Amino acid sequence: MSRRDLLAEIGSEELPPLALIELADAFLAGVLKGLGEAKLKHGKAQRFATPRRLAVHVKGVAEQQPEIEVNRRGPPVKAAFDATGAPTRAAVAFAESCGASVDALQRVQEPKGEFLFYSGRRPGAMARDLIAGIVQASLDALPIPKRMRWGSNEVEFVRPVHWVVLLFGKEVLPGKILGLTPGNITYGHRFHSPRPIRIASPASYVSALRKRGFVLADIAERRERIRTGVIAAAQAAGGEALAEDALLDEVTSLVEWPVPLTGAFDARFLELPREVLIATLQDHQRYFPIQAIGATGEEAVSSEVGRPQVRPLLARFVAVANIESRDPAQVRAGNERVVKPRLADAAFFFDSDRRQRLDARIAGLARVTFQTRLGSLGDKSARVSELAGEIARRIAANVDRARRAAMLCKADLLTAMVGEFPELQGTMGRYYAVHDGEDAHVAAAIEEHYWPRFAGDALPRAGVSQAVALADRIDTIAAIFSIDEKPTGTRDPFGLRRAALGVLRISIEGRLDLDLPSLIERVLVLLREQAASRTPAGGAESGAKVVVKVDDRSPGETIDAVYAYIMERLRAYYLDSDAAQPSGVKVTTEMFDAVLATRPASPLDFDARLRALSTFLALDAAASLAAANKRIANILRKSEAVPATSVRSELLGIDAEKNLYASLQSLRPEVEPLLEQRRYSDALERLANLREPVDRFFDTVMVMDPDANLRGNRLALLGELRQLFLRTADLSRLPG
């Protein structure tokens, strides 16, 4: 079967840069899915995207579907022929619909009677008749949160569409896509090549746009040209570019013909914090900052609680223009002119913010709503301060510093700098706290209590920072659950999923042993105390209009709900991330559920049990003991008999049950201290010695003896055995 290449291009007004790559990936996936469903074989495929286009090139698409086998049951024979044996209208119509004569139809006998039946093959549909529909369906399925309409038509897309290219080999395919008739005409760079460009074949698409259109359609090629150009420009300026992946991706999505060039700003702005300069240049202007080249490549440690000393920034930057200008100096001057007022504003905010101490802003938090039913940020800060002090005490951190940092950690939200640069919350609080002479650990905690901000982000380092970070997150989760506003589906306005993962990462990776249910309970107590006072944290004179109002729910219900929610995030932490696998062993759903069934209060304890379980499962005795635990659990669950309160040794008559009891009594003094010390691997290794006596017990002893005393005694023996294993995990949850 002959094949041809396929090219589909959608030309539009400027697409949203942060969504461009996702849209391109989804467009390709949709086209390939459609070809697969249509059973049209094809070769390799590639997607292209620029600010003004999405395109897909699929090599070697079959020109026709394979033959289709058709098997159809028709009308009953008694209805298909009249009394003379002549075919009725029902038989004729069925034959015509199958493209056959009545004589060619078969007869099949089924339980409900005899029916006419057609069996044959028909040629598949031509690809040229299917492709336009496949492309349109893939466009309809793109992940576009809000579509728009333009002109007088009813077509919807992420941006107005101006042209569509649809080539199958050299043939322009018929049909309508997004309300337009496809052609073989595309358009290049808006200024360098505004005239139409004819695409002769799909294979010539990329080269035609590059040579005649001043467009680099290949995303990877365009990104690499930007990266190497930015690095070279920074080196020529005497420094090193800060070329973060996220910024490279965004700039790649903003330009079609990238031309890096350097610019400069007034050196007096270098007195601003490094993060402010980066936020201004990188986040607001999409410029690449330039830092000094280090002499040794080593980072010294600053005086701020182990904070690495990074190399200073230069008063230079690299911008990426979308045009190859005849007068680059004019483009450079334009970029410099734009950034100057931004930096001037930042300098003004920085100076004015430092005229007021950070702690003087605490009272103002009482006028900022955290959540309408949970009061103000002042209320929240008061709770977090209490909880941070409690956590600091448990992890042997400085309690007073933790409480102080918690009271200050949200105060920078009221500064002008954070109002203009929200992404600098916490960071600016640290700078202002240092300026005010606060303790270094307190200043660090103000910034680090937001860590980790995203997957793979750094964790708070010192104990004070860890205490505040945990307290803030646990308070948020417990408080929101206390008013029954937990996340549903994709709706998570308070970022509880991220908060829960932060609690888990800080606890497990920071090796902090914390009793989660007790901390959740402490938040609920603080909430009810605030609700009882009906007074905002800043006092009645603070002007706050909201007070804490919590639901009249059972605290136990809320504690259970919050614990279950955090544990589900822990499931994702282990099962969805290879980096989180304990001891390098793949954690299965059954392993996780086996530990979860024992309800460990501490995430760190949970992690220790999983590590031990993964080690235990490698032992020869593991499968047998897991099966025995499953059998014991079933017996205890189904038995209507009441186990004895304890095992009575005088009722043990069979050697196998005597041996199991003796083995259990012998191991208990060894195992229980290990369990108390959370040396679960050592405990399970010793319990593995019970394999033989357990197997022999089930081979020779009838647990459900007619004698009630014997039956109850044997159930008690099995119960003691099961409880010893349950101190680590519920092995009955394991397969086998």
Query: Averaging pLDDT over each range in 147-156, 404-413, 522-531, which range is the top one?
Result: 404-413
Across the chain, mean pLDDT equals: 90
Amino acid present at 499: A
Q: Is the pLDDT of residue 302 over 70?
A: no
Q: Is residue 596 part of a domain?
A: no
User: Which residue spans within 20-112 are E strands per DSSP?
Assistant: 45-50, 53-62, 68-76, 106-110
Q: Is the pLDDT of residue 260 over 50?
A: yes
Q: Is residue 361 part of a domain?
A: no
- What Å distances lie between residue 107 and 71, 72, 87, 320, 378, CA to CA? 12, 11, 13, 74, 83
Q: Is residue 593 part of a domain?
A: no
> Cβ neighbours of residue 582 under 8 Å, at least 6 residues apart?
574, 607, 610, 611, 614
Nearest 5°: the CA angle 716, 720, 721 is: 115
Nearest-CA neighbor of 661 among 708, 696, 626, 612?
A: 696
- Classify residue 689 by its DSSP letter: G
Q: What pLDDT was estimated at residue 521?
A: 95
> Cβ neighbours of residue 189 under 8 Å, at least 6 residues apart?
213, 214, 215, 256, 257, 322, 323
Q: Is residue 670 part of a domain?
A: yes
One domain, residues 36 and 156: yes
Last residue of a domain, one of 323, 353, 383: 353
**3-state secondary structure at position 488:** strand
Mean pLDDT of 43-50: 97
Helices (H), 237-272: 245-252
Could you read off the pLDDT of 537-595 as tens digits, one per residue?
A: 444 444 444 455 656 567 888 999 999 999 999 998 888 765 445 545 678 899 999 99
Total of domains in the chain: 5
One domain, residues 152 and 208: yes
Spatial contact of 667 and 690, defined as CB atoms under 8 Å apart: yes
Looking at the chain, the whole-number percentage of residues with pLDDT higher than 90 is: 71
One domain, residues 235 and 163: no
Query: In CATH, what number is assigned to the domain containing residue 480?
Result: 1.10.3210
Spatial contact of 184 and 38, defined as CB atoms under 8 Å apart: no
**3-state secondary structure at position 704:** coil
Could you read off the pLDDT of 190-212 as tens digits, one per residue?
A: 999 999 999 999 999 999 999 99
Q: Tell me which residue has tokens 């060619």.
A: 104
> Cβ neighbours of residue 249 under 8 Å, at least 6 residues apart?
21, 223
Name the band, by pLDDT with cuts 50, 70 and 90, for residue 703: confident
Q: Is the pLDDT of residue 640 over 80?
A: no
Q: How far apart are CA 437 and CA 198, in angstroms?
A: 68
One domain, residues 332 and 232: yes
Q: Is the pLDDT of residue 736 over 70?
A: no
Nearest-CA neighbor of 282 among 352, 349, 342, 215?
A: 342
Amino acid present at 149: R
Q: Is residue 729 part of a domain?
A: yes
Nearest-CA neighbor of 190 among 157, 154, 215?
A: 215
Spatial contact of 114 and 76, defined as CB atoms under 8 Å apart: yes
Q: Is residue 364 part of a domain?
A: no
Name the band, by pLDDT with cuts 50, 70 and 90, for residue 369: very high
Q: How far apart are CA 307 and CA 329, in angstroms?
A: 39
- 286 burial via Cβ count (<10 Å: 0-12, 13-18, 19+): middle
Q: Is the pLDDT of residue 329 over 90?
A: yes
Q: Is the pLDDT of residue 488 over 90?
A: no
Name the band, by pLDDT with cuts 50, 70 and 90, for residue 84: confident
One domain, residues 336 and 397: no
Q: Tell me which residue has tokens 């709706």.
A: 491
Q: Is the pLDDT of residue 15 over 90?
A: yes
Mean pLDDT of 299-328: 78
One domain, residues 41 and 168: yes
What the block records as the tokens of 243 is: 């070329």
Query: In CATH, what number is assigned to the domain containing residue 668?
Result: 1.10.730
Mean pLDDT of 167-175: 95
Q: Is residue 416 part of a domain?
A: yes
Q: What pLDDT was estimated at residue 298?
A: 40
Mean pLDDT of 687-710: 89
Query: With the CA atoms of 295, 300, 304 and 306 taken in that order, what torsion angle do they form, in degrees rounded to the nearest 10?
Result: 140
Q: Is the pLDDT of residue 154 over 70?
A: yes
Spatial contact of 460 and 469, defined as CB atoms under 8 Å apart: yes
Mean pLDDT of 678-704: 90
How do 288-292 and 313-321 pair as beta strands? antiparallel
Mean pLDDT of 4-11: 97
The length of the chain, given as a count of residues = 736
Q: How far apart are CA 134 and CA 154, in angstroms?
A: 20
Nearest-CA neighbor of 124 among 40, 188, 51, 220?
A: 40
One domain, residues 173 and 57: yes
User: Within a 13 Å sphere around the CA of 249, how many CA atoms are in the beta-carbon half?
Assistant: 9
Secondary structure of 533-553 in HEC code, one letter for each residue: HCCCCCCHHHCCCCCECCCCC
Nearest-CA neighbor of 736 among 624, 619, 588?
A: 624
Q: Is the pLDDT of residue 297 over 60?
A: no
DSSP string, 395-431: TT--HHHHHHHHHHTTGGGGSHHHHH-GGGTTHHHHH
One domain, residues 38 and 135: yes
Q: How far apart are CA 396 and CA 464, in angstroms?
A: 9
Amino acid present at 371: Q
Could you read off the pLDDT of 24-37 as tens digits, one per residue?
A: 999 999 999 999 99
Last residue of a domain, one of 545, 580, 615: 580
Q: What pLDDT was estimated at residue 545?
A: 45
One domain, residues 115 and 181: no
Last residue of a domain, one of 91, 107, 122: 122
Q: How far apart are CA 580 and CA 607, in angstroms?
A: 10
One domain, residues 90 and 144: no
Q: What pLDDT was estimated at residue 649?
A: 86
Q: Is residue 590 part of a domain?
A: no
Domain of 631 in residue numbering reads as: 603-733
DSSP string, 338-393: HHHHHHHHHHHHHHHHTTS-GGGGGGGGGGSEEETTBEEHHHHHHHHHHHHHHHHH
Q: What pLDDT was estimated at residue 542?
A: 42
One domain, residues 199 and 271: no
One domain, residues 33 and 159: yes
Mean pLDDT of 507-522: 96
For residue 669, whether the previous peptide bond is cis, meaning omega lies within 30 degrees of 0, is no
Q: What pLDDT was estimated at residue 641?
A: 66
